[in-house]
């Protein structure tokens, strides 16, 4: 990988500093993009740009930022990013690359999750069994084994615990099914449902779930912030303002 020369580093640092000081999302994105382009061999420039894209929900662009750099890629890390974004085919490709460099529990566990998502329970269980055999202390291997047990009907976990076990491994669809079937949903359940809908681009369903959460926890600032943000993104300014005003009231009452 080419080394970074002094003038290049100076300009990268300047762009990153300007981006950090900017309150304008468009300007910040442009500056970070320029820093990453100039610093294809600079880990900080690449990671800062990719992480910002991820926070903004542009998962594909975040993954592309890593792929377009000259850095030595951590394919297991990229596989996990792809799983979080619900991009299972990309996750499979990354995990296969990681595994080709040396069989390891993390990549095998990731491949297990991909197969479970595709409905291939037997394949997924084979990957999870191999993963735990390679590393008995791997949390991801343990999770994939637990998920194998869920799909085989052998799990001792309750319905709610099963739903969150699936959610924590980014098996969004099956987690949502189990959460929706819960007869009594608590605030955490509604927030999880809202998160899944939001990740799937179903804004209205996400907002509906957040409203159900708010009914149970009317003074929860995090829920109000999410509702204000999501309704504003849909152009519902008046509704967003109502949630913002309620946030301000809560802050005032806490003084």
Domain end marker among 142, 164, 182 = 182
210: CATH:
1.25.40.10
57 SS3 class: coil
Domain boundary among 129, 151, 182: 182
Structural domain span for residue 28 = 1-72
Mean pLDDT by groups of 10 residues along the chain of 255 residues: 65 86 86 84 83 82 82 86 89 94 95 97 98 96 98 97 97 97 98 93 96 96 94 94 92 68
What CATH code is carried by the domain that includes residue 64? 1.25.40
| 89 & 176 share domain | yes
pTM of the model: 0.80
Domain match, 174 and 253 both: no
Q: How many structural domains is the chain composed of?
A: 3
Indicate if 173 and 94 belong to the same structural domain.
Answer: yes
- Give yes or no: residues 64 and 124 share one domain: no
> Which of 182, 202, 236 is the C-terminal boundary of a domain?
182
């Amino acid at each position: 990988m080419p080394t970074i020369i002094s003038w290049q580093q100076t300009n990268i640092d300047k762009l990153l500093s300007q981006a950090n000081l900017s309150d304008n999302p468009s300007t910040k994105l442009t500056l970070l993009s320029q820093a990453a382009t100039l610093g294809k061999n600079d880990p900080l420039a690449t990671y800062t740009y990719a992480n910002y894209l991820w926070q903004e929900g542009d998962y594909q662009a975040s993954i592309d930022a890593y792929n377009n750099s000259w850095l030595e890629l951590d394919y297991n890390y990229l596989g996990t990013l792809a799983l979080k974004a619900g991009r299972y085919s990309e996750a499979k490709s990354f995990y296969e690359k990681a595994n080709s460099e040396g069989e390891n529990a993390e990549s095998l566990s990731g491949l297990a999750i991909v197969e479970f998502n595709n409905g291939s329970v037997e394949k997924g269980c084979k990957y999870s069994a191999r993963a735990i055999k390679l590393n008995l202390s791997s949390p991801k291997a343990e999770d994939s084994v637990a998920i194998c047990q869920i799909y085989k009907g052998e799990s001792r976990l309750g319905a709610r615990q099963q739903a969150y076990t699936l959610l924590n491994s980014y098996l969004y669809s099956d987690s949502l099914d189990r959460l929706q079937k819960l007869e009594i949903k608590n605030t955490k359940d509604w927030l999880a449902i809202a998160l899944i809908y939001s990740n799937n681009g179903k804004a209205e369903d996400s907002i509906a779930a957040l409203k159900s959460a708010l009914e149970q926890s009317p003074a929860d600032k995090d829920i109000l912030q999410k509702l204000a943000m999501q309704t504003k993104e849909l152009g519902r300014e008046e509704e967003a303002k109502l949630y913002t005003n309620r946030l301000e009231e809560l802050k005032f009452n806490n003084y």
